[in-house]
Amino acid sequence: MHVFSDCSDHKTGGPGRHDGVLYKPIQQTRDWLDGCDQDILIAQRSLSPFANQVRSKLNILWNHDICGKSFRQVYHTALWNIDYITGLSEFHINQQKETLRIDDTFGDIFWQTRNGIDLADFKYSTAKKKRKHLVYSSRPERGLENLVKPDGIMEKLLKIDPEITLFVAGYDHTVPDLQNYYDMLNGRIAELPNCTHVGHLPKHRLYKLFSGAAIYAYPSDFEEISCVTGDTLIDCPRDYIKYPSGIPINVLAEGKEKVDFVYAYDIEKQEIAMGKVKWVAKTKKKAEVWKLILDDGTEIKATPDHKFMLRGSDYKELKDLKCGDSLMPLYKHARIDVNLNNGKWTSESRFIMQQIIGRKLEPKEHVHHIDGNTFNNSPSNLEILSASDHAQKTFKGRKKSPQSKQKQSDSYKKFYISLTEEERKELNKNKYNGGRALWNSFKNEDERAEFIAKRTSCVSKDGRKRQKEALLKVCHKGGIACQTPEKRNTQSEYMKNGGSKKANKIRWGEEATLNNHKVASIEFYGYEDVYDMEVEKYHNFAANGVIIHNCITAMECLRSKVAILASDVGAIGETVGDCAILLDGPTSAPEYQDKFISHLLDLMKEGGPWKGIIERGYSRAEGMGWASVAQEWEDKFFGFLEAQTENKARLKSHFLYYGDRIAADQMDEKGKDTLFLKPDDLAAFNDDYFLAHGPDPFPETVKDAIAYCHPSKAYFVKAMMDNKDADINNVLDFGCDFGSLVFDLAKAYPKKSFLGVDISPEKIDLANNISDYCDTPNLLFATSLKDDSTKVDCLILSEMLEYQEKPWEFLDSLESYVIDGGTVLIISTFGPWEKMRDDAAPKQLWNFDRHDIKDMMSGKEAYCFHTGFAGEVEKVGEKIGWFYISYTKREEKKAKPINMQRKQLVQRPRHTLALSMIVKDSEGLLHRALESVQGVVDEIVVIDTGSTDSTIEIAKKYTDKVISGSCPLTYGFETPRNESLRHITADWILWIDSDEVLLNPEGIRKYLRDNAYKGYAIAQHHFSVVPPNAFKADLPIRIHRNGHDITWYGLVHEHVETELNASVTPSHLLPDVHIGHDGYLTESIRRKRFMRNYDLIKQDRKKYPERRLGRFLEVRDDIHYVRYCLEKGGGMITNELAELCEKVIKTVREHFLVKEDHMQMDALGFYSEALRILRRGFEVRFGIAVGRDNPLLTQEGISCNKFESREDVETLLASKFENMFEYFEGRYSF
């Protein structure tokens, strides 16, 4: 783990490794993120790490503060790169959603977690509490003024009882803007004789202060942040006669019943377990409650954010559950057996004792019910006895209990009476033969099943019915039902088929699959008090999900046995439950302060509520440690990574993109031996880039040759050699190419001997030719290591391991040439190097990450790992570089294989992208358009709508998905667009037309990921010659997710939407990608397109009369039509043109002046032009700029338009004012 922080203060240890964590100065963050790969990036409060692409698999914004509206734009700019935003309570998450305008359409981006405390730090005795000692330790601006201001709470208490004392623990990190305010508060503390400022205290001293104080005084309006609650029946070992279905949690919370253990689920072992209960309490009054109904009719009431465990051990909040979701069940057969959810059933009493004592019971050990009631499985009623002791106690118990004997006798009588006279005779012949004859005598399986159901003496009618159905399934499975009466199975054959044991399994297992705790419905229920419990280790309990707590100061107080007196705002109530006194009302009001003082005095009284509050709080804090938080986070991380890699086709594509062919090869047996080259001639295989492309001119000197070696490579090797100068005399550079690195080394170290080896004769010949031009007598070249006795002090492997099928074996073989204690230096590439060349042959086998290197080098002596950069592959916008590895060779420490299971799990595959295009007679432009997306898209779908030129042939050079589609002039442009969607398999879809070109395509790749967005807008620039650059850029959705109910609407000027007038949201404008469009270069071209589209606009209005964009387009094109007609008619306004202008005015007034959106100002321009044509109205020049300080109004922000009436002006301005000031008003406007 690497932590970047302000660790310059050496009082805290300074930079370096502490407790297994490497602390680094925060100034180094950007360099690290730009190049180093990491699995998980957690940024605390700061959004800056997410502004650019980072090489991490999971990005989390750890936010534990209230958000202000001023952060809104910054958040939305970075959301494409954020997987989760944490919230510490339901309140906290809702506050962020509301303030930042990140609603439920953004998906599950918010993750509710909690803070925690280190329980081991609370080691001070709380036995000597001073009832009149108060403490305040929050930020000064959060309520301290209410305590110390003139005529405030402490001044009033001074008059009542001078012994009441307030201790204030301050903050060193003063907010500069509040310095004067802090000084005022500190001055008041100094003036008041009953107040003491103890300064900024480290945690251990703060907890010592808490240990002696009695009350935490917190009269604050600040909204604390914490967590959620749950409400359910608790399934636990119990007396089943008293509580057949479970003990209600409110009964436990009120102390009417006490349980130490409940059923839980062990995620690690994937089976049912027993968890120890830490605390149970009421956590919130009158909370919003939803009702969940399962397919078996079970009802569970809980808060909407309560988490439920699914089959597979993942969690979902109640509000996110869907019908058909299968919850993790707890199956039990009365009080007898428990299904462990791992394919096994076990006796509940034995299971309970094994879980409690922590081991399996021996076969000779028996569990005895102390009170003789086998329905009472409470742990206190169970004991372990030897077989003889158990038999003796059981026999004595039965002798004393005639009810047991009578019950057994009644059961036999009931069975015998149910038989016919013939059945009794058959049964009395003898037990076995009678049973067999009886079994064979039934006419069909229904009779047989009915008889067995009776014979089993099931407890209830429903039980008999279930047993009958189960037996019928056994009969069907065993082939019994298909046979004639003469050939029916005997009882022994039935038993071979599984018999009644199999029937029971079906009864309790397969029936459970049919009623598999699947969600049947979810509905709002109302408002009720809700409860919570914490379970050690597992943090879940039967039929419900994990439990979350929290706010830190409140937790610290609870654990320190300090009673909390505070305001009921934010989420503090969720944290403390009924372990505090919370008051309503504005804290500055005299009535609130009088009420606060009254409760303070009440807490100080002997026999008052203080003792009960602190004891409940202490127990509640028991479950607030960091261990459960860590477990929750770990589960969240692995769950996310598993979800990212579950699409195996996408994962395979990801591996191939980076040249990780061995990993891709293992994804699919069908692809074996086709993903990479395995030539017989290894020398020819090695003659790759150099012989084909360079260098040019031919290198004639060492200087020319080493120019092909990146300086960072040479720097690494030289630094390591300088460090071990006395120990290195003979150096082997294996895979030396034509010697670019080893020439440099030979020149730099003339007293050392160097041997360069490469299997390519051509490269070695070239290296020898270069040697003839320079003075390097200490350097030799060879194509192999023929002498097995060759031993060197240092082995260099530069860009070799990634080309070996089993690099660990290859490394071991080369280490045999290194002396024991010698140095091994390895340089290995990372990133998409092959993307630098379009003609790169598929030769690279591995794209290592730091885990792969660690797997292979684990255990190596003096192992070191560094990263260096080689720049960026421009056409894909990704960085490439090298891993620099060094270690000391030891004979007994071999390289180890790469963990492929881990490698396939810990990845973040890029989502795939398809191009969707419709074309007709586009041969002049199609090459350009399709070339512009090469290297970016994974799939191309071209819908041809009737080309007669070479368009189809050109398209087939780029894709095999060239499909004949509907004519857009007949069926509308939406039709062929939608036809293309049916043929696309990629995750995302990009659409461009043949007269467009994608600019800066390399910017797209980083956005193709799981995130909150469903679409991306790209600026579309319309180029024109006459007049020059006549148009401003459009911002349509050009990339959208595949599916998600996204479809095309519009016969012309079609757009993607989720339904009519419902834009693809949320969406984000890509700032670094553009589209160039030159289809409207001249006015004559534009008018031809206009006449083609005008009729389609009219048809579109008939098909989609409520389409808002259609209304706007009709307004625009009507004005264009009027304009063109006026040009032709010499400015004469006909009735037709006047009517069109009137229609424009009416449409804009009714639909666009009243609502501010991206179409409003353009629509206003057409309205204004219609008025000018009709010579009506008056002009208004206006501009509006709103800002916190000195807003800037530019010339572009000033508009001059005609209006027909004052009412129209007021309507427009009202629509603009409606949301203009929200940013600066109300709560959270900071």
Same domain, yes or no: 363 and 232: yes
Quick check: 198 and 209 in contact, CB under 8 A?
Answer: yes
- Report the CATH number that the domain containing residue 716 is assigned in CATH: 3.40.50.150
Instruction: Tell me the per-residue pLDDT of 352-410, one tens digit each, with 9 for 90 and over.
Output: 888 888 888 887 888 888 887 777 888 888 888 887 777 777 655 444 455 555 665 66
Place of tokens 């895979």: 735
User: Is residue 1027 reached through a cis peptide bond, with omega within 30 degrees of 0 on the bond before it?
Assistant: yes
How sure is the predictor about 72, in pLDDT bands with cuts at 50, 70 and 90?
confident
d(CA 292, CA 1021): 51
Q: Examine the pLDDT at 7 and tell me if it is beyond 90.
A: no
Quick check: 261 and 274 in contact, CB under 8 A?
Answer: yes
Quick check: 918 and 968 in contact, CB under 8 A?
Answer: yes
Q: List % helix, strand, coil for the chain (3-state, nearest 5).
A: 40, 25, 35
User: Is residue 695 reached through a cis peptide bond, with omega within 30 degrees of 0 on the bond before it?
Assistant: yes
Alpha helices, H only, 499-559: 499-505, 511-514, 552-559
How sure is the predictor about 654, in pLDDT bands with cuts at 50, 70 and 90?
very high
Q: Where is pLDDT greater, at 509 or 821?
A: 821
Left (φ > 0), alpha (ψ -120 to 50) or beta: where does 313 sit? left
Has residue 738 been placed in a domain?
yes
- Overall average pLDDT of the 518-522 stretch: 85
d(CA 807, CA 811): 6
Has residue 100 been placed in a domain?
yes
How sure is the predictor about 714, in pLDDT bands with cuts at 50, 70 and 90?
confident
Same domain, yes or no: 301 and 153: no
Same domain, yes or no: 304 and 185: no
Same domain, yes or no: 601 and 704: no
Same domain, yes or no: 796 and 821: yes
Of 858-867, 1021-1030, 1131-1140, least confident by mean pLDDT is 1021-1030
Same domain, yes or no: 192 and 234: no
Same domain, yes or no: 731 and 849: yes
- Structural domain boundaries enclosing 91: 2-112
d(CA 476, CA 716): 73
Query: Going by C-beta distance under 8 Å and a sequence separation of 6 or more, which residues neighbour residue 303?
Result: 90, 228, 229, 230, 231, 284, 287, 288, 289, 290, 318, 530
Alpha helices, H only, 1104-1205: 1108-1128, 1135-1151, 1160-1173
Confidence at residue 623, expressed as pLDDT on a 0 to 100 scale: 67
User: Is residue 1066 reached through a cis peptide bond, with omega within 30 degrees of 0 on the bond before it?
Assistant: yes
d(CA 573, CA 1032): 53
Place of tokens 């860590």: 630
Has residue 891 been placed in a domain?
yes
Same domain, yes or no: 900 and 832: yes
Q: Examine the pLDDT at 262 and tell me if it is beyond 70.
A: yes
Quick check: 39 and 58 in contact, CB under 8 A?
Answer: yes
Confidence at residue 678, expressed as pLDDT on a 0 to 100 scale: 41
Q: Examine the pLDDT at 792 and tell me if it is beyond 90.
A: yes
Confidence at residue 161, expressed as pLDDT on a 0 to 100 scale: 93
How sure is the predictor about 175, in pLDDT bands with cuts at 50, 70 and 90?
low
What is the DSSP code string of 61-80? EE--SPPPGGGHHHHHHHGG
Instruction: Tell me the per-residue pLDDT of 423-439, one tens digit each, with 9 for 90 and over.
Output: 666 555 544 344 444 45
Same domain, yes or no: 759 and 866: yes
Q: Where is pLDDT greater, at 647 or 1029?
A: 647
Tell me, rounded to whole angstroms, the distance of Cα 930 from its chain centroid: 35
d(CA 662, CA 685): 17
Q: Examine the pLDDT at 277 and tell me if it is beyond 50.
A: yes
Instruction: Tell me the per-residue pLDDT of 1148-1198, one tens digit each, with 9 for 90 and over.
Output: 999 999 999 989 999 999 999 999 999 999 999 998 888 877 788 777 788
Confidence at residue 504, expressed as pLDDT on a 0 to 100 scale: 44
Of 626-635, 690-699, 833-842, 868-877, least confident by mean pLDDT is 690-699
Q: Where is pLDDT greater, at 709 or 935?
A: 935
Of the three residues 872, 906, 940, the one that is the final residue of a domain is 906
Single-letter residue type at 628: S
d(CA 60, CA 44): 9
Count up the domains in the chain and report the number: 4
Going by C-alpha positions, the residue among 353, 301, 330 that lies closest to residue 540 is 330
Q: Where is pLDDT greater, at 192 or 348?
A: 192
d(CA 35, CA 160): 65
Of the three residues 889, 906, 923, the one that is the final residue of a domain is 906
Instruction: Tell me the per-residue pLDDT of 465-514, one tens digit each, with 9 for 90 and over.
Output: 554 554 444 444 333 333 333 433 433 343 344 444 444 443 334 344 43
Has residue 1124 been placed in a domain?
no
Helices (H) and strands (E) in the chain, counts: 43, 46
Q: Where is pLDDT greater, at 185 or 667?
A: 185
Instruction: Tell me the per-residue pLDDT of 1193-1230, one tens digit each, with 9 for 90 and over.
Output: 777 788 899 999 999 999 999 999 888 888 777 767 76
d(CA 587, CA 574): 20
User: Is residue 807 reached through a cis peptide bond, with omega within 30 degrees of 0 on the bond before it?
Assistant: no
Of 91-95, 250-254, 679-683, least confident by mean pLDDT is 679-683
d(CA 945, CA 978): 13
Confidence at residue 683, expressed as pLDDT on a 0 to 100 scale: 40
Phi first, then psi: what are they for 345, rounded to 5°?
-105, 155
By residue count, the chain amounts to 1230
Going by C-alpha positions, the residue among 762, 761, 848, 766 that lies closest to residue 801 is 848
Q: Examine the pLDDT at 929 and tell me if it is beyond 90.
A: yes
Has residue 1186 been placed in a domain?
no
Q: Examine the pLDDT at 1016 and tell me if it is beyond 50.
A: yes
- Overall average pLDDT of the 225-236 stretch: 52
Q: Examine the pLDDT at 722 and tell me if it is beyond 50.
A: yes
d(CA 776, CA 745): 10
Of the three residues 606, 621, 636, the one that is the final residue of a domain is 621
d(CA 179, CA 172): 11
- Overall average pLDDT of the 1126-1144 stretch: 92
d(CA 251, CA 238): 13
Same domain, yes or no: 272 and 324: yes
How sure is the predictor about 1007, in pLDDT bands with cuts at 50, 70 and 90?
very high
How sure is the predictor about 462, in pLDDT bands with cuts at 50, 70 and 90?
low
Same domain, yes or no: 831 and 719: yes
Q: Examine the pLDDT at 598 and tell me if it is beyond 60.
A: yes
Q: Examine the pLDDT at 1090 and tell me if it is beyond 50.
A: yes
Q: Which of 336-340, 1057-1061, 1089-1093 has the highest mean pLDDT?
A: 1057-1061
Has residue 1181 been placed in a domain?
no
Helix (H, G, I), strand (E, B) or coil at 537: coil
How sure is the predictor about 684, in pLDDT bands with cuts at 50, 70 and 90?
very low
d(CA 577, CA 554): 10
Question: What angle, 0 to 180 degrees and rounded to 10, lies between the N-to-C axes of helices 1083-1103 and 1108-1128?
Answer: 140
Mean pLDDT, the chain, rounded, equals 79
Confidence at residue 725, expressed as pLDDT on a 0 to 100 scale: 62
- Report the CATH number that the domain containing residue 375 is assigned in CATH: 2.170.16
Distances (CA, A) of 237 to 208, 336, 345: 40, 11, 16
Has residue 1158 been placed in a domain?
no
- Overall average pLDDT of the 701-730 stretch: 76
Q: Which of 363-377, 965-979, 1080-1094 has the highest mean pLDDT?
A: 965-979
What is the DSSP code string of 932-1001? TTTTT-SEEEEEESS--SSHHHHHHTT-S-EEE---HHHH-THHHHHHHHTT--SSEEEE--TTEEEESG
Same domain, yes or no: 735 and 828: yes
Q: Examine the pLDDT at 705 and tell me if it is beyond 60.
A: no
d(CA 120, CA 265): 27
Q: Examine the pLDDT at 695 and tell me if it is beyond 50.
A: no
Going by C-alpha positions, the residue among 802, 817, 837, 215 that lies closest to residue 558 is 215
1209: enclosing H helix or E strand: helix 1206-1220
Distances (CA, A) of 494 to 338, 427, 447, 507, 716: 26, 18, 15, 17, 75
Of 61-65, 567-571, 648-652, least confident by mean pLDDT is 567-571
Q: What is the 3-state secondary structure (H, E, C) of 986-1010?
A: CCEEEECCCCEEEECHHHCHHHCCC
d(CA 667, CA 160): 77
d(CA 490, CA 759): 75
Sheet architecture: strand order including 962-964? 962-964, 939-944, 913-919, 988-991, 1037-1041, 1015-1022, 1067-1077, 996-999
d(CA 431, CA 990): 77
Phi first, then psi: what are they for 1209, rounded to 5°?
-60, -50
Has residue 864 been placed in a domain?
yes
- Give me the sign of the Cα torsion angle 715, 720, 723, 729: negative
Q: Examine the pLDDT at 995 and tell me if it is beyond 50.
A: yes
Left (φ > 0), alpha (ψ -120 to 50) or beta: where does 14 sit? left
Confidence at residue 492, expressed as pLDDT on a 0 to 100 scale: 39
